[in-house]
């Protein structure tokens, strides 16, 4: 039997996807304009914390399949909590006043 794997890489991938979603939601919340592509590119290339999160997720993506195979209830709860922590951030993005 193989040793139990952590969910570190899976959590990094999920967090990176949620961070990308937050950025896209923030830029597109007022509708699409051509300048939005430039804003997204700038956000994705200039924010060091964001780039680190994406890099960490990319580096560990090959381990995600193995982590999913031996996921247990406690790890599922751990991942769920990590996802739920993003909900207030999404709410804040959409609560901000959209310019007219």
Q: How many other C-beta atoms lie within 10 A of the C-beta of residue 39?
A: 14
> How confident is the model at residue 31, as a pLDDT?
87
Would 2 be classed as within a structural domain? no
- Cβ–Cβ < 8 Å for 30, 82: no
Residue 55 has pLDDT above 80, yes or no: yes
Whether residue 41 lies inside any domain: the answer is: yes
Q: Domain limits at 85?
A: 8-94
Residue 92 has a pLDDT of: 93
Residue 1, domain member (yes or no): no
How far apart CA 69 and CA 21 sit, in angstroms, is 26
Cα angle 40, 41, 46; round to 5: 105
pLDDT for the residue numbered 80:
95
Within a domain: residue 45? yes
Q: How many domains does the chain have?
A: 1
Q: By three-state DSSP, how is residue 100 classified?
A: coil
Please give the Cα distance from 99 to 56 (Å, whole number): 35
Residue 97 has pLDDT above 80, yes or no: no
- The answer as to whether 3 is a domain residue is no
Task: Please indicate, yes or no, if residue 25 is contained in any of the structural domains.
Answer: yes
Q: Tell me the helix, strand and coil percentages in the chain, rounded to 5.
A: 75, 0, 25
């Amino acid at each position: 039997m193989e040793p139990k794997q952590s969910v570190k890489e899976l959590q990094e991938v999920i967090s990176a996807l949620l961070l990308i979603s937050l950025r896209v939601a923030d830029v597109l919340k007022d509708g699409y304009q051509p300048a939005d592509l430039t804003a997204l590119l700038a956000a994705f290339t200039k924010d060091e914390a964001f780039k680190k999160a994406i890099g960490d997720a990319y580096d560990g993506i090959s381990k995600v399949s193995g982590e999913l195979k031996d996921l247990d209830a406690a790890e599922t709860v751990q991942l769920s909590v990590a996802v739920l922590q993003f909900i207030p951030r999404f709410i804040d993005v959409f609560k901000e006043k959209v310019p007219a």
